[in-house]
């Protein structure tokens, strides 16, 4: 983007209800199945912390809950913790929005950071589509499409 | 998502160019995307509507602006469906070559 920002937008339609999708997004027993073993640790209180951990308990990302409005919208402050060059970019912002759309739910994820040519935004742009495809097939068919 | 709509949307050079431009600089308004396209604002808007219909482009309002973003989700689905499965045997062959670099079994 021209004004010193980097952003990606991900849109997927999932045949389910907003309540079911909301619970898939916020419950760890569900997330570890479509997010390659990852779970979010948080009590989902606005202003409170969250951490994303893999199956071995290693922390990948951390941040703060900025907004939590079930079953419509979650906004997270997002700081990567593993790769120093990505952590050095500082916090990004991720908003997750659910909108009912003709028998399905439109899920929109907007991941943005206030700097041009962000390596973090580039790095996550390969990950989100795989996570979302897996989430869609898990909800619609009960099975995941990709195991790693 | 509807594969037909995705492939129809991709079967046009101007629409592929719009996707390339969004990939280079994500989150542009209609005016920015019209620059250098050599077509009317209405024609660009129509191409963007087809891309949005196919879910290849997502739109977000920020203040008074309507910004267009490339949506990598359907492109990733095409890659998985049409490319990765042809890639798998090649990767398996490379792994085999690594295990047995001098082809001792064959020599």
Is A86 within the bounds of a domain? yes
Interface of B with A in 45-74 (CB under 8 A): 55, 58, 60, 69-73
Cα(B97)–Cα(B94) distance, integer angstroms:
5
The whole domain housing A94 covers 6-141
Work out the minimum CA distance from A56 to partner chain B, whole angstroms.
27
Q: Does residue A147 form part of some domain?
A: no
Q: Would you call A2 and B72 a contact, using CB atoms and an 8 Å cutoff?
A: no
Is A26 inside any structural domain? yes
- The answer to whether residue A59 sits within a structural domain is yes
* Domain contains A148: no
Selecting from B27, B32, B73 the residue whose C-beta is nearest the C-beta of A132 gives B73
Helix (H/G/I), strand (E/B), else coil: A12 = strand
Q: Domain boundaries in chain B?
A: 3-106
**Per-residue confidence band for A129, with pLDDT thresholds at 50, 70 and 90:** very high
Residue A146 maps to a domain: no
The answer to whether residues A18 and A105 touch, using CB atoms and an 8 Å cutoff, is yes
Distances, alpha carbon A63 to alpha carbons A46, A80, A105, in Å: 11, 9, 26
Give the residue from B26, B62, B78 with the most A CB atoms within 10 Å of its CB, the best one to mutate: B26
Closest CA to A48 of A69, A63, A59: A63
Whether the per-residue pLDDT at B59 is higher than 50: the answer is: yes
Domain count, chain A: 1
Number of residues that this document lists for chain A: 148
Cβ separation B26–A129 shorter than 8 A: no
Which of A11, A130, A133 lies nearest to residue B58, judging by beta carbons? A11
Instruction: Please name the member of B26, B69, B73 whose beta carbon is closest to the beta carbon of A129.
Output: B73
Q: Is the pLDDT of residue B41 over 50?
A: yes
Query: Residue A103: is it exposed, middle or buried by C-beta count within 10 angstroms (0-12/13-18/19+)?
Result: exposed
Read off the pLDDT of residues B60-103 as tens digits, 9 standing for 90 and up.
Answer: 998 999 999 999 999 888 888 888 777 777 777 777 777 776 65
**What tens digit of pLDDT does each residue of A2-50 get?**
568 999 999 999 999 999 999 999 998 888 888 989 999 999 999 999 9
First to last CA, chain B: 50
CATH number at residue A38: 3.30.530.20
Token pair in block for residue A131 = 């996570």
Q: CATH for B3-106, among 3.30.70.1380, 1.10.10.10, 1.10.3470.10, 3.40.50.880?
A: 1.10.10.10
Q: Classify residue A57: in a domain, yes or no.
A: yes
Query: What confidence category does residue B107 fall into, taking pLDDT thresholds of 50, 70 and 90?
Result: very low
Confirm whether A63 is domain-assigned. Answer: yes
């Amino acid at each position: 983007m021209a004004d010193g920002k980097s952003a990606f937008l991900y849109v997927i339609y999932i045949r389910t209800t907003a309540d079911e999708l909301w619970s898939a997004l916020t419950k760890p027993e569900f997330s570890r199945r479509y997010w390659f073993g990852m779970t979010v640790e948080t009590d989902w209180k606005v202003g409170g912390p969250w951490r994303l951990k893999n199956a071995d308990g290693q922390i990948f990302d951390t941040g703060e809950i900025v907004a939590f409005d079930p079953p419509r919208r979650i906004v997270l402050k997002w700081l990567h913790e593993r790769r120093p060059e990505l952590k050095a970019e500082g916090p990004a912002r991720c908003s997750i929005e659910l909108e009912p759309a003709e028998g399905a739910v439109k899920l929109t994820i907007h991941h943005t950071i206030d700097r041009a040519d962000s390596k973090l935004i580039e790095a996550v742009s390969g990950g989100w589509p795989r996570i979302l495809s897996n989430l869609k097939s898990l909800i619609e068919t009960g099975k995941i499409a990709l195991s790693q | 998502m509807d594969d037909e709509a995705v492939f129809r949307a991709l079967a046009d050079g101007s629409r592929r160019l719009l996707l390339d431009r969004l990939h280079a600089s994500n989150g542009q308004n209609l005016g920015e995307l019209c620059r250098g396209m050599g077509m009317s604002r209405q024609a660009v808007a129509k191409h963007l509507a087809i891309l949005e219909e196919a879910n290849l482009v997502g739109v977000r309002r920020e203040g008074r602006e309507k910004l267009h973003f490339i949506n990598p989700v359907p492109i990733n689905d095409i890659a998985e469906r049409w490319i990765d499965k042809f890639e798998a045997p090649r990767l398996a062959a490379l792994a085999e070559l690594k295990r047995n670099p001098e082809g001792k079994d064959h020599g």
